[in-house]
């Protein structure tokens, strides 16, 4: 059935977020969660309204980032809420378009509903896993849809740099490039505390000439979040070290000083990200205007204290008393970092040398089956024989072209993602949902590395349509 959609669209090009990026001004983005219906919802909305009204007078706050069902299914970023924030804030917010439970056929209507509220910025992600059978639309598809509709949307996408095995690391960065190629206008990192990983991402983007703005997501840690972080991370897949988790727990024991310590840490992170070349920092965990004013004033002051990266690096290390931020004994960073502070303590930006990547290849049996699938061109084989060979050699049937996925069937991905991994994989590279299995996208990456075809992972894949299922 054909549906005619009519939207009240504003094609005025003015967009403070886009403008801040284009002018090279370092900006702040405030991340907020929508109120949950029920007890306390009115108080949450009042605090959110006050935060939006206060931030209208802060020129370096470029936008609000509104999450969608991040920690609660009822916390929804509705177009009406985004429109209300835009009116109070005076600037277009960033609407999270979570792919969880999103019908691909309704993407144009969903995107159009935000555009009709004059929301010019979106952030596309696949969404955290909740239960079997939930649909997950990849952020790549959301970005493609937004661009193809011709809507005045400035599209953001996610990357999770807090990965510590080689396949996970390159899986995230290669998919980030795929998102940029699909039309992403800016990239937002996951939140973490390993500043070497923030620096790794900035360095990677510079060397690969990824020219879109990069936003560092940071978190002001509240007392209630310490147990979640200590259990593995703020969100699935953003791993933290046991040493840092233990430090947070020690800080929690001194409650009168706890928030001041978290504020200092956040401010140091913001200053470091600015020195690394990030275009903005996105801060989550702010509850009201008074708290936001304190946080931003502190961030501005701390940032002005450092004239060099070396001075900042000394302050960051001293603040943590040598605590390692690396969560695994066997870890991988793309660049080897050599500290030059002894030679030039005033301008001691570390030197970087690229590390040779020792990829995790699948077992030899799978690699040989993969080679036979290529030689036989099993994607063209008809009938039951072709079906059996695809099942045996590739791992199953799939709706996308097997040639585009290096003859690895991606249907075993619980989220049914075809463009690359989500950010939720476990520390060892196993699937977020099926812990006993490797992430199928890591398997595909290992096959591509074995065949010297990593460059093909940056090429677009035709997503299956609903009629293909």
Same domain for 300 and 151? yes
Number of domains in the chain: 2
| Dihedral Cα 231, 127, 52, 56, nearest 10 deg | 110
* 404 shares a domain with 286: no
Q: What is the CATH number of the domain that holds 238?
A: 3.20.20.220
- Give the CA-trace dihedral at 59, 61, 66, 70, to 10 degrees: -170
Query: Which of 143, 139, 83 lies closest to 114, judged by CA?
Result: 83
- Mean pLDDT per block of 10 residues along the chain (469 residues) reads 41 78 96 87 91 94 92 86 92 92 89 90 90 83 91 94 95 96 97 96 93 96 92 86 94 91 96 96 94 95 92 95 88 76 50 80 91 91 91 86 91 91 93 90 95 89 59
- Phi, then psi, of 215 in degrees rounded to 5: -110, 130
For residues 268 and 402, state if they share a domain: no
DSSP lists the bridge partners of residue 217 as 282
Q: What is the pLDDT of residue 39?
A: 73
Range of the domain at 209: 16-320
Note the pLDDT of residue 463: 64
pLDDT attached to residue 352: 67
Kind plus residue range of the DSSP H or E element containing 426 = none
**∠ Cα 364 369 371 (to 5°):** 95
Tell me what pLDDT residue 6 has: 40
The answer to whether residues 72 and 132 belong to one domain is yes
The verdict on 198 and 316 lying in the same domain is yes
User: Do 285 and 411 sit in the same domain of this protein?
Assistant: no
Q: Per DSSP, what are the bridge partners of residue 157? A: 124, 187
In-domain check, residue 407: yes
| Residue 301 shares a structural domain with residue 375 | no
């Amino acid at each position: 059935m054909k549906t005619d959609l009519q939207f009240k669209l504003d094609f005025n090009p003015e967009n403070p977020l886009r403008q801040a990026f284009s002018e090279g001004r370092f900006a702040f983005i405030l991340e907020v969660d929508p109120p949950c219906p029920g007890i306390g919802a009115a108080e949450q909305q009042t605090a959110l309204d006050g935060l939006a009204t206060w931030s209208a007078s802060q020129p370096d706050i470029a936008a609000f980032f509104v999450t969608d069902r991040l920690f609660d299914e009822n916390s929804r970023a509705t177009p009406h809420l985004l429109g209300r924030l835009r009116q109070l804030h005076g600037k277009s917010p960033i609407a999270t378009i979570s792919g969880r439970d999103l019908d691909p056929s309704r993407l144009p209507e969903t995107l159009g509903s935000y555009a009709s509220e004059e929301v010019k910025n979106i952030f596309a992600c696949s969404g955290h896993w909740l239960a079997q059978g939930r649909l997950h639309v990849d952020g790549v598809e959301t970005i493609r849809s937004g661009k193809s509709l011709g809507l005045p949307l400035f599209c953001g996408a996610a990357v999770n740099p807090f990965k510590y095995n080689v396949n996970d690391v390159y899986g995230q960065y290669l998919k980030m490039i795929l998102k940029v190629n699909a039309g992403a206008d800016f990239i937002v990192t996951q939140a973490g505390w390993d500043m070497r990983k923030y620096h790794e991402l900035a360095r990677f983007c510079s060397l690969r000439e990824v020219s879109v703005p990069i936003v560092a997501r940071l978190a002001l840690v509240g007392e209630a979040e310490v147990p979640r972080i200590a259990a593995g991370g703020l969100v699935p897949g953003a791993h933290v070290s046991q040493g840092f988790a233990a430090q947070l727990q020690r800080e929690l024991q001194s409650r009168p000083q706890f928030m001041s310590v978290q504020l200092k840490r956040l401010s140091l992170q913001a200053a470091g990200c600015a020195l690394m070349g990030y275009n903005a920092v996105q801060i989550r965990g702010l509850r009201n205007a008074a708290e936001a004013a304190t946080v931003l004033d502190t961030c501005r002051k701390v940032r002005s204290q450092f004239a060099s990266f070396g001075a900042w690096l000394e302050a960051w290390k001293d603040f943590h008393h040598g605590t390692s931020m690396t969560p695994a004994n066997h870890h991988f960073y793309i660049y080897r970092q050599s500290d030059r502070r002894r030679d030039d303590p005033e301008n001691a930006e570390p030197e970087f040398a690229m590390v040779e990547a020792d990829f995790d290849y699948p077992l030899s049996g799978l690699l040989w089956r993969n080679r036979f699938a290529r030689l036989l061109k099993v994607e063209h084989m008809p009938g039951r024989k072709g079906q059996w060979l695809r099942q045996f050699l590739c791992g199953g049937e799939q709706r996308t072209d097997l040639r585009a996925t290096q003859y690895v069937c991606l249907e075993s991905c619980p989220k049914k993602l075809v463009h690359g991994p989500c950010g939720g994989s476990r520390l060892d590279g196993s699937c977020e949902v099926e812990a006993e299995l490797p992430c199928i996208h890591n398997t595909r990456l290992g096959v591509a590395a074995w065949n010297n075809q990593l460059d093909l992972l940056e090429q677009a894949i035709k997503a299956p349509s609903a009629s293909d299922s």
